[in-house]
Amino acid sequence: MAQTKAAKSDTILFAAPQSLEDVPLHYCPGCGHGIVHRLIAEVVDKLGIADRTVCVASVGCSAINYLYFKFDGLESSHGRAPASASGIKRCRPDLIPFTYQGDGDLAAIGTAEIVHACARGENITVFFINNAIYGMTGGQMAPTTLVGMHSTSTPGGRNPALAGYPIKVCEMLSTLEGPAYIARVSIYNPAQVRRAKQAIELAFRTQLAGLGLALVEVLSPCPVGWGVEPVQAMDWLVEHMLPQYPLGEYKVTEAVQALKEVKGHA
Amino acid sequence: MAKRVLMSGNIAAAEGAILAGCHAFFGYPITPQNDLLEHMSRRLPPLGRIFVQTESELSAINMVLGASAAGFRAMTSTSGPGFSLQQEGISYMAGMELPAVIVDVMRAGPGLGSIGGAQGDYFQATKGGGHGDYRVLTLAPASAQEMMDLTMLAFELADKYRNPVVVLADGFLGQAMEPVAMREPVAELPGKPWAITGARGRPKNVLNSLELEPADLEPRMQALVQKFEMMRQNEVRYESLDLDDASMAIVAYGSASRSAMTAVHMARQEGLRVGLLRPISLFPFPYQALSDLAQRVDDFLVAELSFGQLVEDVRWAVGPNHRVELVNRLAGVRLSAEEILEAIRKMAR
Ligand SMILES: Cc1ncc(C[n+]2csc(CCOP(=O)(O)OP(=O)(O)O)c2C)c(N)n1
Ligand code: SF4
Q: Is residue B83 one of the residues assigned to a domain?
A: yes
Q: Is residue B305 one of the residues assigned to a domain?
A: yes
Contact list, A53 vs chain B (CB under 8 Å): 198
Domains of chain A: 26-263 (3.40.50.970)
Q: Is residue B193 one of the residues assigned to a domain?
A: no
Q: Is residue B205 one of the residues assigned to a domain?
A: no
Q: How far apart are CA B165 and CA B126, in angstroms?
A: 10
Asked if residue A85 lies in contact with residue A72, where contact means CB atoms within 8 angstroms, the answer is no
Q: Are residues B50 and B117 in the same domain?
A: yes
CATH code of the domain in which B263 resides: 3.40.50.920
Domain range for B24 is 4-187+210-234
**Residue A250 — pLDDT band, cuts 50, 70, 90?**
very high
State in Å: Cα B84 to ligand 1 middle. 21
Q: Are residues B338 and B249 in the same domain?
A: yes
Contact list, B67 vs chain A (CB under 8 Å): 87-88, 90-91
Q: Residue B72: closest CA among chain A residues belongs to which residue?
A: A91
- Torsion sign (Cα): A208, A214, A220, A225: positive
State in Å: Cα A28 to ligand 2 middle. 5
Is the shortest distance between the CB of A223 and ligand 2 below 6 Å?
Answer: yes
Q: Are residues B55 and B160 in the same domain?
A: yes
On the 0-12 / 13-18 / 19+ scale of CB atoms within 10 A, B245 is exposed
Contact list, A83 vs chain B (CB under 8 Å): 54, 58-60, 62-63, 65-66
Q: Is residue B203 one of the residues assigned to a domain?
A: no
Q: Are residues B113 and B223 in the same domain?
A: yes
Q: Are residues B20 and B108 in the same domain?
A: yes
A93 interfaces chain B, CB cutoff of 8 Å:
no
* ipTM for the assembly: 0.95
Atom of ligand 1 nearest to the CA of A129: 21
Q: Are residues B295 and B331 in the same domain?
A: yes
**pLDDT for B342:** 98
Q: How far apart are CA B53 and CA A145, in angstroms?
A: 33
Coil, strand or helix at A33: helix
**Residue A262 — pLDDT band, cuts 50, 70, 90?**
confident
Nearest CB neighbour to A74, from listed B69, B89, B200:
B69
Please state the pTM of the whole predicted model.
0.96
Q: Is residue B196 one of the residues assigned to a domain?
A: no
**pLDDT for A67:** 97
Q: Are residues B80 and B133 in the same domain?
A: yes
Residue nearest to atom 8 of ligand 2 (CA): A31
Backbone φ and ψ for B176, nearest 5 degrees, come out as -65, 135
> Cβ of A73 and B62 within 8 Å?
no
Q: Are residues B175 and B259 in the same domain?
A: no
Q: Are residues B228 and B141 in the same domain?
A: yes
Q: Residue A53: closest CA among chain B residues belongs to which residue?
A: B198
* Residues B274-323: tens digit of each pLDDT: 999 999 999 999 999 999 999 999 999 999 999 999 999 999 999 999 99
Asked if residue B344 lies in contact with residue B247, where contact means CB atoms within 8 angstroms, the answer is no
Whether pLDDT at A2 is above 70: no
**Residue A1 — pLDDT band, cuts 50, 70, 90?**
very low
Q: Are residues B64 and B124 in the same domain?
A: yes
CATH code of the domain in which B178 resides: 3.40.50.970
Q: Is residue B39 one of the residues assigned to a domain?
A: yes
CB contact burial A91-120 (16+ within 10 A = b; e otherwise): bbeebbbbbbbbbbbbbbbbbbbbbbbbeb
Q: Residue B59: closest CA among chain A residues belongs to which residue?
A: A83
State in Å: Cα B211 to ligand 2 middle. 19
Asked if residue B22 lies in contact with residue B49, where contact means CB atoms within 8 angstroms, the answer is yes
Q: Are residues B59 and B111 in the same domain?
A: yes
* Residues A205-239: tens digit of each pLDDT: 999 999 999 999 999 999 999 999 999 999 999 99
Q: Is residue B181 one of the residues assigned to a domain?
A: yes
Q: Are residues B338 and B218 in the same domain?
A: no
> Cβ of B50 and A54 within 8 Å?
no
Q: How many domains does chain B have?
A: 2
- Let me know the angle formed at the C-alpha of A126 by A91 and A210, rounded to the nearest 5 degrees: 50
State in Å: Cα A33 to ligand 2 middle. 8
